[in-house]
Amino acid sequence: MRMRSERQEIVEYGKKLYDSGLTKGTGGNLSVWDPDLNLMAITPSGIPYHEMREEHIVLIDVETGDIVEGKELPSSERDMHRIFYKYRDDIKAIVHAHSTYAATLACMRWDLPAVHYLVAHGGINVRCAEYATYGTVRLAKNAFKAMEDRKACLLANHGLLAGGSDLATAFSVTEEIEFCCQLYFNTKSLGEPVLLDEAEMSMMLDRFSDYGAKFEEHEEI
């Protein structure tokens, strides 16, 4: 079985996605890309996360879009995953969620601005992609455009898409952006939030790029 460890990881994080309330029912999907094989492993369509097994995960050729291994029907959003693996080399895992607050902003067709420094997990801000029907190439292209220079985007009237260098990172981005969407929702209910400026967010992007990798130099206090 090819990509066994990636399949196992997808099954594990699928359960986390459901248990954390980031999606409902069988909504959402996850994938991991192996650049050496140029194959992506992706969740199947319609199987509940707690019933999903590694043999249910489908392998797809990133270049052609053909199924190369698996008996199940792959996620209807497979093109939305494949387009990133085909044209970006910094994203090797993707999580798509129907999380409540991200979907709320997406239904308003709002971008998520820099309401909190944790928005930088997705970028200087998180754009909302133009609407397209789920499972279409048009949606894949809209998401790809919205995530230019970003690790996350909202999908109009739909949900959240997040990517990372591995599935743990993509899942973390999903959690952080959903949290920031909730903050934005809460602050908008009180008035107009005070946003961080682009210079501060650019610094946050630099900090997050090597977070935990080295000791920081501190000014004298």
Element (H, E) at 187: helix 167-190
Total structural domains within the chain:
1
Quote the pTM value.
0.94
Which residues constitute the domain of residue 9?
4-209
Give catalytic status of residue 148 as yes or no. Answer: no
Q: Identify whether 138 is part of a domain.
A: yes
The CATH number given to whatever domain includes residue 167 is 3.40.225.10
Task: Return the biggest CA–CA distance within the chain.
Answer: 62
Whether 90 is in a domain gets the answer yes
Q: What is the pLDDT of residues 121-156, one digit of tens each?
A: 999 999 999 999 999 999 999 999 999 999 999 999
Distances from the Cα of 90 to the Cα of 38, 74, 134, 156, angstroms: 14, 23, 24, 24
Q: Which tens digit of pLDDT belongs to each residue from 13-27?
A: 999 999 999 999 999
Q: Assess if residue 33 is contained within a domain.
A: yes
Q: What is the mean pLDDT of the chain?
A: 95
- The reply to whether 218 falls in a domain is no
For position 215, what pLDDT does the model report?
Answer: 47
Which among 6, 9, 77, 175 is annotated as catalytic? 77
Q: Has residue 217 been placed in a domain?
A: no
Domain annotation covers residue 125: yes
Q: Is residue 215 part of a domain?
A: no
Is residue 127 one of the residues assigned to a domain? yes
Cβ–Cβ < 8 Å for 175, 100 = no
Query: What are the phi and psi torsion angles at 214 (to 5°)?
Result: -155, 160
